[in-house]
């Protein structure tokens, strides 16, 4: 079993608490992403799971074993680093098989495993080359092959794609996803790239300052961020946060949006109205994704006319920048409907998936 359980994990370096009581559960076969800005503690946590760094407090359980006192070789894990860490004087075949040699796997069995792994990664034609003769993507596949050959209970990846160019990163991301689907092994994967987090993970733990801000599926975290930090960190372009006042009109709860001397009142979704009723007359932060602000028909009741400040064509969509309540807001529209900078544009604000945050604490208000 490759399940992983973390309970109350704490770590202090030179008086600085870098992990502040991490609790996480990863089911057998799940792909967990640890994501967050540099210095948030995600790589430290991965090192502790691997046994490379001792914990100061808490419990790490892999399968049915508490592994706190076990070294890396006894935890039944395989770890893949950002640097690949290949042996330069060994061939690709030997790099893949070296861990099996250490474990005294018979030669015929080693050869079979190496060939199977190399074929799966499409590097079987490179088995006699050395790392210096390989491209970055090929070295990445060799490092993956070495990890896969061991058939561990748990794979640990520490920002493995950060050294690759954009195109190779996309290719290797798909390769890792295919491998996980085929093998079904539990994976813990560290990245600061929220696109990787959204596309790879079954579950995501968003970290900040040594704490887990939110733990859930990619869609849950994208649609229902727990606080302002998660809302701004996850998503590209980032979620728009608009300071606005909750108002009641005609028996309904809504928000006030102002732009270029024009003012609009838009009703909130019924699901949010109940939680916001107690905040009538108060300021909140309206969180709305760019794709929830689109080109509107003239008759659309949820529309508002805004002056376009800037446009950014992306191919299938055009990002349009407008000013709402004194802040710049990004909208995602079809290229055929995008107005030019300086022109007015009718925009539809879809509040059905909008979220609301307390402006002081940053926590979800609705």
Indicate the domain borders of the chain.
Answer: 4-227, 240-357
Mean pLDDT over each residue of the chain, to the nearest integer: 92
The residue with greater pLDDT, 60 or 296, is 60
> What CATH architecture is 240-357?
Beta Barrel (2.40)
Band of residue 360 on the pLDDT scale cut at 50, 70, 90: very high
Q: pLDDT, tens digit, for every residue of 18-75? A: 999 999 999 999 999 999 999 999 999 999 999 999 999 999 999 999 999 999 989 9
For the chain, the farthest-separated pair of C-alpha atoms sits apart, in whole angstroms, at 80
Q: pLDDT, tens digit, for every residue of 103-121? A: 889 999 999 999 988 888 8
4-227 CATH: 3.40.50.300
| Domains 4-227 and 240-357 in one fold | no
Band of residue 301 on the pLDDT scale cut at 50, 70, 90: low
Nearest to 6 by CA among 186, 162, 161, 179: 186
Give the Cβ contact number of residue 252 at 10 Å. Answer: 12
41: left (phi over 0), alpha (psi -120 to 50) or beta: left
Percent of the chain with pLDDT over 70: 99
Task: Output Rg (C-alpha) for the chain, integer angstroms.
Answer: 25
Say yes or no to pLDDT of 180 above 90.
Answer: no
177: left (phi over 0), alpha (psi -120 to 50) or beta: alpha
Residues 247-271 have a mean pLDDT of 92
């Amino acid at each position: 079993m490759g399940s992983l359980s973390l309970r109350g994990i704490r770590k202090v370096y030179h008086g600085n608490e870098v992990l502040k009581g991490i609790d996480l559960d990863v089911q057998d076969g799940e792909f967990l992403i640890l994501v967050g800005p540099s210095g948030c503690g995600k790589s430290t946590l991965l090192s502790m799971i691997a046994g490379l760094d001792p914990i100061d407090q808490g419990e790490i359980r892999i399968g049915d074993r508490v592994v706190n006192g076990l070294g890396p070789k006894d935890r039944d894990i395989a770890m893949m680093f950002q640097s690949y860490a290949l042996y330069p004087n060994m061939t690709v075949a030997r790099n893949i098989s070296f861990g099996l040699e250490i474990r005294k796997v018979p030669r015929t069995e080693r050869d079979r495993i190496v060939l199977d792994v190399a074929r799966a990664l499409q590097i079987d034609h490179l088995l006699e080359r050395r790392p210096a003769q390989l491209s970055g993507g090929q070295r990445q596949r060799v490092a993956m092959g070495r990890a896969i050959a061991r058939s561990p209970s748990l794979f640990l990846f520490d920002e493995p794609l950060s050294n690759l160019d954009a195109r190779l990163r996309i290719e290797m991301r798909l390769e890792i996803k295919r491998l996980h689907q085929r093998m079904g092994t539990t994976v813990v994967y560290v990245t600061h790239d929220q696109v990787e987090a959204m596309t790879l993970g079954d579950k995501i733990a968003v970290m900040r300052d040594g704490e887990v801000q939110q733990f859930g599926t990619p869609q849950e975290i994208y649609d229902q961020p727990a606080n302002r930090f998660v809302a701004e960190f996850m998503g590209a372009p980032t979620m728009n946060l608009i300071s606005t006042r909750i108002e009641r009109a005609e028996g309904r709860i809504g928000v006030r949006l102002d732009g270029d001397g024009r003012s609009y009142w838009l009703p909130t979704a019924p699901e949010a109205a109940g939680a916001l009723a107690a905040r009538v007359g108060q300021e909140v932060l309206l969180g709305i994704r760019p794709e929830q602000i689109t080109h509107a028909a003239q008759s659309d009741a949820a529309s508002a006319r805004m002056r376009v400040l800037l446009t950014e064509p992306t191919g299938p969509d055009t990002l349009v920048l407008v000013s709402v309540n004194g802040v710049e807001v990004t909208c995602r529209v079809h290229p055929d409907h995008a107005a030019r900078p300086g022109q007015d544009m009718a925009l539809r604000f879809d509040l059905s998936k909008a979220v609301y945050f307390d402006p002081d604490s940053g926590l979800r208000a609705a």
